[in-house]
Structure 1
Amino acid sequence: MQRVRLSANQAPVHRLGDPQMTLSPRFRLAVIQSSLFSPSSSEMDASLSGEPLIPGLPDDVALNCLLRLPIQSHTACRAVCKRWHLLLGNKERFFSRRKEFGLKDPWLFVFAFHKCTGKIQWQVLDLTHFSWHTIPAMPCKDKVCPYGFRCVPREGTLFVCGGMVSDVDCPLDLVLKYEILKNRWTVMDNMITARSFFASGMIDGKLFVAGGTSANLFELDSAEVFDPVDGTWRGIASMGTNMASYDSTVLNGKLLVTEGWLWPFYVSPRGQVYDPVTDKWENMPVGLREGWTGSSVVVYGHLFVVAELVKMKLKVYYAGSDSWEAIDGPPLPEQICKPFSVSAHNHTIYVVGRNLSVALGQVSVINQDDAGDACGKKCRFSIRWRVVDAKESFSDLTPSSSQVLFG
């Protein structure tokens, strides 16, 4: 999505509660309440001494089986008996027991919105059973611009930051945290600066944000970092230039930020690279920023982009020559329509398109001996795609962001 650069000067940012916000009262934080039945530990222990979980199986074996049930089936399965109800009727208990058994499966969290009403929602694809389920709604009830948020995963936790109130183009300093283990949202300390359409990335367990837009789409040059351990934000070095972010990623411990103007360029796109060790920004190499024409992921330690041109072929960046090359294999399957969001884990790239059709791309290294690029030679890659078709009920949904988490 191309954005217009309006000014190189930072404008005042209106925060929630300012007098300027009185004409848009709909934004509010929802009260987070759990409606799940949570029996006491003693009741649970007494229950476990009753009938077997599954007749004919030891309880540890039966529990191992039940903990692998897809979330989609929990509502029906907990009606089987009291013990199943106690296990499957409380998500916090269910995931706690999974953790005890060392179970950890990948899920694709998709931040989507209804294309007609604009209502936002989270849909989750179980990448083991390929079934969908939902999580509790985020504790905000305003009409917001879904693309203004930034969503960043960290060890079974999802952080959602910033955003923009649609009616007044007012950026938000909101920070929300979703925990798989507890299946709930928590409102965290606000960012220092309200921002939307900004860069973000997780480096060494800390969340970095930079740039973006303030009120009236004026661009920012400020940056800050959040430490999830103590829950506080602090400022870091400014970018040195005011810019909003089209895309960003973390590569080799550095935060890469690009404007990502669509080809053909009317102006040369800007790009910045932040090193948290030195707390300094530097200009992005020309080839890197001018070839970054799509959504990025990091696989095998290399930066890949699902290009929005050339039939949406996947391409990879080579730092040694500051150049991009298309990888072997077919383009993105035609079922995946723009706008789409891209994420990755291990050697698989996930592309979620309109109506939440999902393409899974398995990336392989062709010249295995050079997989680590240790000899200075270019790694050659190929990709194979498979598609998880969209559900009919998702026909009006559009993805804004997607992330892989384990639970």
Structure 2
Amino acid sequence: MGAFLSLAGTTSRKSEYNEVSLNETCKRQRMSLSFFEENPRLIPSLPDEISIQILARLPRIWYFNARLVSQKWKTIIMSTELYKLRKELGATEEWLYVLTKVEDDKLLWHALDPLSRKWQRLPPMPNVVYEDESRKGLSGLWMWNMVGPGSKIADVIKGWLGRKDVSDQMPFCGCAIGAVDGCLYVLGGFSRASTMRCVWRFDPILNAWSEVTSMSTGRAYCKTGILNNKLYVVGGVSRGRGGLTPLQSAEAFDPCTGTWSQVPSMPFSRAQVLPTAFLADMLKPIATGMTSYQGRLCVPQSLYSWPFFVDVGGEIYDPETNSWAEMPNGMGEGWPARQAGTKLSVVVDGELYAFDPSSSLDSGKIKVYDQKEDAWKVVIGKVPICDFSDSESPYLLAGFLGKLHVITKDAKHDIAVLQADLRDNLGSFSSTSTSLLGGSFCEHSDSQEELETVVWKAIASRDFGSAELVSCQVLDI
């Protein structure tokens, strides 16, 4: 075990390696690797069954270096059996995966281990390019007309249309993000202004991307949710003869079989009762969010005619009856909307939370849905979000470690993960931590009442340069 711990990167051994020459370090590594390769056991003098039990109890952050010990160690650490054992032992860990957008609209994933507070960068997603010159001009114009000249996406398309080099790629945008069965999924989106059906999966055990079965319909800006270990996809927009058309269809992916199955389309019942044919033609129904709540999928909806969005409640899918029903009035009409009509929400410990932004980007509220009263209630009066209006996604919500988290940027423009310690129904804090945010964060605690309601704690932060937030997911493996 001593040799393994040295490779795993403890503080004392790391400083020792810094003191020796590069040649000496390489020599030690070759000797260590040779020793392990020649030894028939994972750990000398121990049966492999016990060694695997030891490996299963190690923090997952150590596995990146542990794979370098020997080929046998790498095989075990990249095997599903080890992670099944971790689950049986209750040793699984929740990691936060954050998708960012950098220069030229390139998408990059980063993983955070909240226990060690260390970040890991994921391998880049595969490049998706569809070269079909017959779609070159008009499809881009249709998309630009829909999203409007004020959108960054419109700028991307207009720039693409002005290029002469056919081999140039249009940035991959409008993709949906999901997570099921311990893997990340990136679904659909636009490529050269065409909506795509392709689905990519990231397996954190193999640390690699692979393409899986495509959706039945090309979609961009669709919504995802998890029910009964299946990944559901609803709505979005698709490219048709008349431009981009909002979708009512839905489908579900089973990671065990790798297949898609059809789900009844959303009725959009509220959109069917518009008073005039003119409004029905002008205002298009669209799903603006989706959250798995109490064993059902809650899909808030809006009518839009860019850049205007009108909330029209929403609908709920019940997998037991395989049918849709209208969302309760209070739930649908009060569901807070962020920029461009998107409904941002997350379920933590069985409670449904949503972010309600103010007229400016430097503040906002967190609301929780009260099912008994069919109403949204403010539980956090002020969220520490600093003003950086150029960002399309200035904040994200996530639930892990049994807490509500906000991912945003601080005053130094570092991406930070903030944990909210909420007071429970009995009036006691859910955490013993009573320290407020310090350092570079914009503090919003103007009253004693606010101090008694929530305690914000920055659990991690990192400088990602000019990267902007896009989305996030949590994996427990």
Secondary structure of 1:320 counterpart: coil
Q: Structure 1 residues 154 and 368 mapped into 2: Cα distance closer, same or farther (>3 Å)?
A: farther
Deviation of 1:349 (Å): 1.6
TM-score calculated relative to the size of structure 1:
0.71
Q: Residue 156 of structure 2 aligns with which residue? A: none
Deviation of 1:208 (Å): 1.4
Secondary structure of 1:269 counterpart: strand
Deviation of 1:144 (Å): 6.5
- Calculate the aligned-residue CA RMSD, in Å: 3.6
Q: Is the aligned partner of 1:182 residue 2:182?
A: no
Question: In the TM superposition, what are the counterparts of 1:46-65 in structure 2 within 5 Å?
Answer: 46=40, 48=42
Q: Residue 384 of structure 1 aligns with which residue? A: 455
1:299 to 330, 348, 363: 348
Deviation of 1:251 (Å): 0.9
CA distance in 2, matches of 1:134, 1:234: 33
Secondary structure of 1:256 counterpart: strand
Q: Residue 421 of structure 2 aligns with which residue? A: 362
1:218 to 231, 237, 245: 245
Deviation of 1:189 (Å): 0.8
Q: Deviations over 1:184-242 (max 9, x none)?
A: 22211111111111222111111211111001331011111222222111212111237
Q: Deviations over 1:254-305 (max 9, x none)?
A: 111123689x976343422111211221222332223222410112322111
Q: Is the aligned partner of 1:120 residue 2:118?
A: no
CA distance in 2, matches of 1:398, 1:352: 11
Question: In the TM superposition, what are the counterparts of 1:190-209 in structure 2 within 5 Å?
Answer: 190-209=214-233
Question: In the TM superposition, what are the counterparts of 1:276-287 in structure 2 within 5 Å?
Answer: 276-287=319-330
Amino acid at match of 1:221: Q
Deviation of 1:364 (Å): 3.9
Q: Deviations over 1:345-369 (max 9, x none)?
A: 3531222224522212233422379
The answer (yes or no) to whether the contact 1:95–1:180 under 8 Å persists in 2 is no
The answer (yes or no) to whether the contact 1:91–1:183 under 8 Å persists in 2 is no
Amino acid at match of 1:362: D
Q: Is the aligned partner of 1:395 residue 2:462?
A: no
Q: Deviations over 1:373-394 (max 9, x none)?
A: xxxxxxxx953221245323x0
Deviation of 1:335 (Å): 4.7
CA distance in 2, matches of 1:188, 1:325: 41
Q: Deviations over 1:33-79 (max 9, x none)?
A: xxxxxx9xx95752646599xxxxx97898578x32735x945x88x
CA distance in 1, matches of 2:293, 2:345: 11
Q: Residue 325 of structure 1 aligns with which residue? A: 377
Amino acid at match of 2:78: R
CA distance in 2, matches of 1:287, 1:161: 31
CA distance in 2, matches of 1:60, 1:162: 39
CA distance in 1, matches of 2:309, 2:80: 51
The answer (yes or no) to whether the contact 1:157–1:180 under 8 Å persists in 2 is yes
Amino acid at match of 1:231: G
1:313 to 358, 365, 370: 365
Deviation of 1:330 (Å): 5.2
Secondary structure of 1:267 counterpart: strand
1:70 to 57, 61, 64: 61
Secondary structure of 1:289 counterpart: helix
CA distance in 2, matches of 1:245, 1:299: 22
The answer (yes or no) to whether the contact 1:335–1:357 under 8 Å persists in 2 is no
The answer (yes or no) to whether the contact 2:52–2:82 under 8 Å persists in 1 is no
Q: Residue 254 of structure 1 aligns with which residue? A: 296
Q: Is the aligned partner of 1:341 residue 2:396?
A: yes
Q: Structure 1 residues 360 and 153 mapped into 2: Cα distance closer, same or farther (>3 Å)?
A: same
In structure 1, stretches of 5+ residues that fail to align are 1-38, 53-57, 372-380
Secondary structure of 2:290 counterpart: strand
Deviation of 1:155 (Å): 3.4
2:317 to 244, 260, 274: 274
Q: Is the aligned partner of 1:156 residue 2:182?
A: yes
Deviation of 1:122 (Å): 0.7
The answer (yes or no) to whether the contact 1:111–1:402 under 8 Å persists in 2 is yes
Identical pairs, percent: 27
1:109 to 97, 102, 112: 97
Amino acid at match of 1:156: G
CA distance in 2, matches of 1:316, 1:135: 33
Amino acid at match of 2:236: G
Secondary structure of 1:117 counterpart: helix
Rg comparison, structure with higher value: 2
The answer (yes or no) to whether the contact 2:238–2:245 under 8 Å persists in 1 is yes
Q: Deviations over 1:141-200 (max 9, x none)?
A: 4566666222222232222222222x42x2111112222222222211111111111222
Amino acid at match of 2:105: G
Amino acid at match of 2:348: V
Return 154-163 or 218-227, whichever deviates more: 154-163
Amino acid at match of 1:247: G
Q: Residue 4 of structure 1 aligns with which residue? A: none
The answer (yes or no) to whether the contact 1:347–1:364 under 8 Å persists in 2 is no
CA distance in 2, matches of 1:174, 1:273: 26
In structure 2, stretches of 5+ residues that fail to align are 1-32, 130-168, 269-283, 338-343, 431-451
Greater relative contact order, per chain length (Cα 8 Å cut-off, separation 6+)? 1
Deviation of 1:252 (Å): 1.3
Q: Is the aligned partner of 1:230 residue 2:257?
A: yes
The answer (yes or no) to whether the contact 1:261–1:293 under 8 Å persists in 2 is no
Amino acid at match of 2:244: L
Q: Structure 1 residues 46 and 246 mapped into 2: Cα distance closer, same or farther (>3 Å)?
A: same
Amino acid at match of 2:232: F
Q: Is the aligned partner of 1:134 residue 2:156?
A: no
